[in-house]
Amino acid sequence: MFACPFGMVYAATVSGYVYVLSNESLPGVMKVGMTSRDPFTRAAELTTTGLPMPFRVEFCLMTERPAALELALHQQFAAQRVQAGREFFRVSRRHAPWLTGRPDHRGTCRSLSPIAPLLPSSTPWCARV
């Protein structure tokens, strides 16, 4: 059993997370990355003295193939990449309509049809809405 950071619990073999982070200090820019640890821990690690505001997790996905999904999302957003070799993209909700709503303290899981073809079947996921 693995706990989704948003409170849902899944029975699955999970090897990592793909996440999307935002930062008020970087309007219109989101970081798409992967980690084998809690995405909230990763967001805290990326928050440095160089940025006045902390990163916040907009979306995370538990998957057995985080590297493959991260690569697929990087390819999907290639035209919006801020700088070669970096994981920052000028991605709005227009480019990623599955990044909907505003985060709150509740975790909500629902259909991820826009990127479902990129996911192995029955992959558990969670997103802040």
- Which of 47, 16, 31 lies closest to 96 in space, CA to CA? 31
Q: What is the pLDDT of residues 17-46, one digit of tens each?
A: 888 888 999 998 999 999 888 888 888 899
- For residue 122, what are its two tokens? 């029955």
Q: What are 10's strand-pairing partners?
A: 2
d(CA 88, CA 99): 16
Q: What is the total count of domains within the chain?
A: 1
pLDDT band at 62 (very low <50, low <70, confident <90, very high): confident
User: By the 8 A CB rule, do 5 and 128 touch?
Assistant: no
Q: 16: domain range?
A: 2-127
pTM: 0.67
Q: What percent of the chain has pLDDT over 70?
A: 60
- CB–CB of 38/105 below 8 Å? no
- The tokens for 19 are 């996440």
